[in-house]
Amino acid sequence: MKFNKETFEIIFFARGGQGAKTASELIAHAAVLEGKYVKAFPFFGPERSGAPTKMFLRVSEEPIRTQEPIIDPDAVVVLDETVIDCQDVVKNLDRHESLIVNSKRTPEEIRKKIPHFEGRIHTIDASDIALRIAGNPNPNMVLMGQLIKVTEIIKLENAMRIFREVFTPKIGKELTEKTVQAMKVGYDEL
């Protein structure tokens, strides 16, 4: 589903430490740059690194008043496909909405795990792409590129700009550019 309604809602399913929070916050910053309104917040308990987590992101053309967790997402991003085995990642996703999964498997293979889901499934081996390009198997930026392509929620150029602004001082120009390239590959792989 493309960003074409008042509020667009996304849930990121991941394991702690995979970067779902970073990805959703970067999208939020890019959306603000484009004049949109956002709410991004995590949902997790006392879990530790590696435990299942959720990150909620709302993007809107109008001010967002609700602070409630998202219960009817327009898109879902799964950073670790093993989360599908312990979380209902397609709850309330309909046939017009999208599931994006970091996986070596095909969409048809993922559908066998969730046969009741009739929507679009996009798979991408984001961990491998990130490892090849940036030297780190963290899938978040590759999946962010894919999400931007699928939903058109923000412009890719703005996501890359925000990433450069935030991360160049932290990780250096070379790694920043490699990671931006991984994001672009995620966008182009669809």
**CATH code of residue 136:** 3.40.920.10
Question: Per the domain annotation, does 98 fall within a domain?
Answer: yes
Map tokens 């899938």 to a residue.
Answer: 139
What's the pLDDT tens digit per position in 53-100? 999 999 999 999 998 999 999 999 999 999 999 999 999 999 999 999
Which two three-digit tokens encode residue 182?
A: 């991984």
Question: Per the domain annotation, does 1 fall within a domain?
Answer: no
Could you give the percent of the chain with pLDDT greater than 70? Answer: 94
Residue 60 backbone dihedrals phi, psi, to 5 degrees: -145, 155
- Check whether 47 has a pLDDT greater than 60: no
Could you give the percent of the chain with pLDDT greater than 90? Answer: 89
- Check whether 4 has a pLDDT greater than 60: no
Whether this prediction's pTM lies above 0.85 is answered by yes
Query: Confidence band (pLDDT; 50, 70, 90) for 17?
Result: confident
Range 109-136 average pLDDT:
97
Question: Per the domain annotation, does 116 fall within a domain?
Answer: yes
Q: 67 is in which domain, residue-wise? A: 7-188
Query: Confidence band (pLDDT; 50, 70, 90) for 3?
Result: low
Number of structural domains (the chain) is 1
96 Cα distance to chain centroid: 18
Question: Per the domain annotation, does 2 fall within a domain?
Answer: no
